[in-house]
Chain A
Amino acid sequence: LAKTTQPISMDSYEGQEVNITCSHNNIATNDYITWYQQFPSQGPRFIIQGYKTKVTNEVASLFIPADRKSSTLSLPRVSLSDTAVYYCLVGDMGTGGSYIPTFGRGTSLIVHP
């Protein structure tokens, strides 16, 4: 079964780069890795998605090694507003070939002034 493991919490300071690593040892060959951000009392918000190597968008970068058993979300120069819970998401194949998305427990990032 697909399963993700992330650090429970991380602390950082404004202006620093933050790297959050997720392990997903049983990721399916054709599965992607997706990261979401969640603020209290809100639904998760898509950050970035990738399959291998490196993906970059306007808010983050995602690094995926060749074995794809882990991925690292990189947030450049964090600000106080980046304080949130960050989830990586992979999936399982359910009955009938349906895709079952599986969130981990998330990493609570606290950014200090």
Chain B
Amino acid sequence: ETGVTQSPTHLIKTRGQQVTLRCSSQSGHNTVSWYQQALGQGPQFIFQYYREEENGRGNFPPRFSGLQFPNYSSELNVNALELDDSALYLCASSLAMGLAGRNYQETQYFGPGTRLLVL
């Protein structure tokens, strides 16, 4: 158990719809990252939030957006869903000791994921 929780566990949507996924970070962590993991692939980095600001973004279109709240919980929003958005969405929390000179990945604690199916 990592202390990171995600909701919902499973979700079915249709193409064109919008979805919001939620993540509750491990206590004391100030950073949350979101990943998309297609079947048989490694997790692909979507973006990261540090103290409520986006800090780094992978190769995902703007219809993927996020929020981090003052209690460090987070949301991932995906608009205009496409069939290829079907995947396991993972959030991971970590503790960043400031951003200056930050050049490595802190240990990330992953949640169990939300499995999204787009029909």
Contact surface of A with B, Cβ cutoff 8 Å: 28, 30-32, 34, 41-46, 49, 51, 87, 89, 91, 93-96, 98-106
Contact B107 A43 (CB under 8 A): no
Residues in B lying within 8 Å of A, measured CB to CB: 2, 4, 33, 35, 40-45, 48, 55-58, 90, 92, 102-105, 107-113, 115
Least CB separation from B91: chain A residue: A43
Q: Judging by beta carbons under 8 Å apart, are B103 and A98 in contact?
A: no
Which of B102, B108, B109 is the most central at the interface, judged by chain A CB atoms within 10 Å of its CB?
B108
- Taking CB atoms, residues of chain B closer than 8 Å to A89 are 105
Query: Is the beta-carbon distance between A49 and B103 smaller than 8 angstroms?
Result: no
Cβ contact within 8 Å between A42 and B112: yes
Given known A43-B2, A104-B42, contact A32–B104 (CB-CB < 8 A): yes
- Besides A42-B113, A99-B102, 19 more A-B contacts (Cβ < 8 Å) are A31-B104, A32-B105, A42-B112, A43-B2, A44-B43, A44-B108, A45-B110, A46-B107, A46-B108, A94-B56, A95-B57, A99-B103, A99-B105, A100-B57, A101-B45, A103-B44, A105-B40, A105-B41, A106-B42
B35 proximity list for chain A (CB < 8 A): 103
Contact of A43 among B4, B41, B42, B103 (CB under 8 A): B4
Smallest CB separation, B1 vs chain A (Å):
10
Q: Which chain B residue has the least Cβ–Cβ distance from A108?
A: B40
- Also in contact, A102 and B90, with CB within 8 A (given A43-B111, A91-B104): no
In contact, A87 and B103 (Cβ under 8 angstroms): no
- In the assembly, what is the distance between CA of A104 and CA of B103, in Å? 19
> Which one of B4, B58, B103, B104 has the greatest number of beta carbons of chain A within 10 Å?
B104
Contacts of A31 in B (CB 8 A): 103-104
- Chain A residues in 8 Å Cβ range of B104: 30-32, 49, 51, 91, 99
Q: Would you call B45 and A102 a contact (CB within 8 A)?
A: yes
Bound: A98/B58 CA distance, A: 10
Chain A residues near B103: list those with CB within 8 A.
28, 30-31, 93, 99
